[in-house]
Structure 1
Amino acid sequence: MKLLPAVLIALTISTASYAQQSDICSSHTVVRGETLRIIAERYLGTRDQSPIIYRANRAVVGGDPNLITIGMVLNIPCAPGQTGGQTVVAGAAPAAAAAPAALAPAPAAPAPAATASAGATRSLGAPAASAQTAEFNGGLIALLSEAPFTGADLPNGGAMPTIMAQALMRAGEGMPAVSLSTLGSAQSLEAMYQDARLEVGFPVIRPNCFSGNLSGVSRNLCNDFYFSAPMFEVVTTLFSRKADDLEISTAEELAGKVVCIPDFYPFEELQDLGLALDSTTMTEPGSISACFDQLWSGEADLVYADFLSVDNAIGNIDLRGDVAVISRFTWTKTVHAVSHNGNAQGVKMLSMLNEGFANMVSSGEWRAMMRDLLS
């Protein structure tokens, strides 16, 4: 199992080309919505160069590079190949500089690789400002639609985009466009392997990567993807028709039952019990709602899912009266965002998410937002 590395080291390494750069080429007046990373992308070509701008303006910005104010005038160091007439002195206030030269428009994003566009995507209502809403142009991808975590018809695209947008803002990063994949679980992960613009996917329930009974999807997640900090906690269990009056207390009594498992639900716990889940004992129609359709029709005997998502998919199970819970089999799982470990930009975005999320947890903001989102 791979753990998210200390990618802050990468930020230091990425500034090496500027290590000897001391000239100032222009100045910039901060406007609403800007961060040092956004300004660095405009003038120096990549957001990773924001520490260069911060070091040149520490006396003005202060001790926290995430706190810049509207109207603040910043010195902009020269990019490689440029020359300027000023020299940065550590701790010195920025001097007046010439106005920045006009920038050429950024090139249009390339079309997705053929292997990554086999299915459609539709835009979620991410709360951050973005002009890229009609067509997916990279960043975050919702791998499936399950309320309350994601959904095109949910406020701000669901609970997880809302939390992630706030975390990125706290880390000084803007929320990129979010799209909802219709590729399906395995195909969505395959797309993230092959299209580097698919930087971060969510929501993903973390498998037990130490199990010897991982599914193909779970094995790929454990071997080839980094996980963000856990953003939600859910309890998974087995649901049945109350009319079937299934009295199951041991794994042996589950033998021969057909279990419906929604996309991205790791089921190694069931196989660790000794169940042999194969094409004759498992069905995977996609969503939780589809699984319950199979349960009502008799195609499946059990549904494996979490309480929170089931309540959102079919309504409050306590009030319905027709759903039974096989309470002997329950597991607490965590919900994450993931990035392919070969996608440098995605790994950096996970680092930003973790940084902002830690700030939200320590301040109590996350708990307050969770109460609002899940009430």
Structure 2
Amino acid sequence: MSEPAGAGRRSSDNPTGRTGDQFAGPARAARRKGPGMDNETLRKTLAAACFALAAVPLGASAQEACTRYTVQPGDSLSSISRSAYGDYNFQRIFSANRAAIGGNPNLIEKGTVLEIPCLDGQLAADAEVAEPAAPATAEVVEEAEPAVEVTAEAATEPAAPSVAPLEKISFITGDDYPPFADEQLAGGGIITQLVRTAMVRANSGADVSIAFVNDWGAHLDTLLPSGAFDATFPWSLPDCGNLGVLTAADAYRCTDFEHSESFYDIVDGYFAMKGSGLEDAKSFDAFLGKRICRPDGHSLAWLSSSGLSEPDITLVRPVTVAECFSALAAGTVDVVHIEVQVAAEALDALRLKNDAIENPNLAHIKTLRVFVHKKNPNAGEIIATINSGLAIMRQSGEWYDIVSAGLLEQARKVAPKS
């Protein structure tokens, strides 16, 4: 685990692997102002919408993707994704079936019915949904509230102190974490759009700003503790109930920050070269003695919780995800441990999509959240506001609309060129 200059006792893991040493001088920020859903709620679109994007070469026809599928013996989410879309990236299926699958993407029971999203990320409607009947226009007579006697004692009781509404909330995120956060992506990436929209839906009245500062390590180590910004995203939260097995940097995330509800559950996978035997290993014991690549700054919580720590493994920590996969192809590492969605673009750029295979049996689910430092006097109110807006979005279906659009943007980018 690298430690940015001045980090002292700890180093904040960052999702891109960039460290403070690479960003000499003041961090440059481009400020921008802005703004477990159940499947029944999501079933609101027509199957015809899938055919509009049938020309996008994703490896399967819209009819194959835009349907329901009953899990058969021997199926895995990876194999189902391969059949539907031509790749092993099962995140879109997992996101659409979170309630049915549960917390472990490796365990899907035979007979489970899965929604296979259309190529545009929408879910097919298997039945017409009747429009709700208009409410009867009957006159409503409000009952008079009973009079309440106010005693002299109650009248003199001091009122509870009022909390001044937040006037401004400043968020910070960074680039090079597709499809979740990157200034070059539509709306700044999936999580950026979700956070911005959640603040609008919460109707807090606060002036919201979102800045991109690519020194990810500085977000948790200096920028939030110093009060330069109020909140940062997207950060994964380790198992805070088991601090004893966490690194200092991971424990710091638990002890020094308030956390929002999960904006997105992501699969952290293990990739190995086809034919190595590691691509279909059934136990983490198969990785003991191996060289595992995890980009510098990414959390080690899931490795350590699986019994994969030095000296039982050799940990290789380059700066970028691409360097990990280049090393895998060159045979200088045996396994790459990285988020499935983040891996997709690196594999596409390196033309390794058919050679570096995600292990379908071993994976972790982690949650991407907003963090606010506990020193912030408004920490509780900020988190409550964010959670309120997120709940509204999940209930209305807006969360799924934003997520599916972001995944579609990435799918188009990494689609095979015809």
Residue equivalent to 2:201: 170
Cα 1:263/1:168, change in 2 over 3 Å: farther
SS in 1 for 2:378: helix
The answer on whether the counterparts of 1:260 and 1:282 sit within 8 Å (CA) in structure 2 is yes
Cα 1:157/1:324, change in 2 over 3 Å: same
Residue equivalent to 2:230: 199
Q: Distance in 2 between matches of 1:175 and 1:243?
A: 54
Q: Distance in 2 between matches of 1:371 and 1:168?
A: 20
SS in 1 for 2:249: helix
How far the C-alpha of 1:249 sits from its partner, in A, is 2.9
The answer on whether the counterparts of 1:237 and 1:326 sit within 8 Å (CA) in structure 2 is yes
Residue equivalent to 1:350: 383
- Do structure 1's residue 122 and structure 2's residue 29 form an aligned pair? yes
Q: Distance in 1 between matches of 2:350 and 2:267?
A: 14
Q: Distance in 1 between matches of 2:351 and 2:374?
A: 41
Residue equivalent to 2:180: 149
Q: Deviation digits for residues 168-199 of structure 1, max 9, x if unmatched? A: 011124563322233243x4311135320221
- Do structure 1's residue 311 and structure 2's residue 218 form an aligned pair? no
Residue equivalent to 2:192: 161
Cα 1:255/1:214, change in 2 over 3 Å: same
Q: Deviation digits for residues 115-174 of structure 1, max 9, x if unmatched? A: x9955233265544xxxxxxxx98111155300110121112111111111110111245
Residue equivalent to 1:25: none
Residue equivalent to 1:361: 394
Cα 1:286/1:252, change in 2 over 3 Å: same
1:188 aligned partner, one-letter code: H
Q: Deviation digits for residues 193-252 of structure 1, max 9, x if unmatched? A: 532022111111121122332122211001111111111111111112225443533333
TM-score, normalising length: structure 1? 0.59
SS in 2 for 1:208: coil
1:120 aligned partner, one-letter code: A
The answer on whether the counterparts of 1:165 and 1:174 sit within 8 Å (CA) in structure 2 is no
Could you tell me which runs of 5 or more consecutive residues in structure 2 were left unpaired when the two chains were aligned.
1-22, 36-167, 409-418
2:291 aligned partner, one-letter code: V
Cα 1:275/1:283, change in 2 over 3 Å: same
Q: Distance in 2 between matches of 1:317 and 1:329?
A: 24
How far the C-alpha of 1:295 sits from its partner, in A, is 2.5
1:235 aligned partner, one-letter code: V
For 1:1-375, list aligned pairs within 5 A: 120-123=27-30, 127-128=34-35, 139-143=170-174, 145-172=176-203, 173-174=205-206, 176-185=208-217, 187-211=218-242, 212-242=244-274, 244-246=276-278, 248-262=281-295, 265-277=298-310, 281-315=314-348, 320-375=353-408
Q: Distance in 2 between matches of 1:285 and 1:292?
A: 10
The answer on whether the counterparts of 1:258 and 1:281 sit within 8 Å (CA) in structure 2 is yes
Where relative contact order (Cα < 8 A, 6+ residues apart) is larger, the structure is 2
Q: Distance in 2 between matches of 1:231 and 1:160?
A: 7
Residue equivalent to 1:21: none
1:155 aligned partner, one-letter code: A
How far the C-alpha of 1:275 sits from its partner, in A, is 2.1
SS in 1 for 2:245: coil
How far the C-alpha of 1:349 sits from its partner, in A, is 2.3
Q: Distance in 1 between matches of 2:373 and 2:311?
A: 27
The answer on whether the counterparts of 2:292 and 2:313 sit within 8 Å (CA) in structure 1 is no
1:227 aligned partner, one-letter code: H
Moved more, 317-326 or 345-354: 317-326
Cα 1:238/1:204, change in 2 over 3 Å: same
Q: Distance in 1 between matches of 2:311 and 2:373?
A: 27
The answer on whether the counterparts of 2:321 and 2:346 sit within 8 Å (CA) in structure 1 is yes
1:181 aligned partner, one-letter code: V
Cα 1:124/1:321, change in 2 over 3 Å: farther
2:270 aligned partner, one-letter code: L
CA-based RMSD of the aligned residues comes to 3.1
Number of equivalences: 251
Q: Distance in 2 between matches of 1:140 and 1:300?
A: 37
Cα 1:188/1:291, change in 2 over 3 Å: farther
Q: Distance in 2 between matches of 1:124 and 1:314?
A: 31
Residue equivalent to 1:82: none
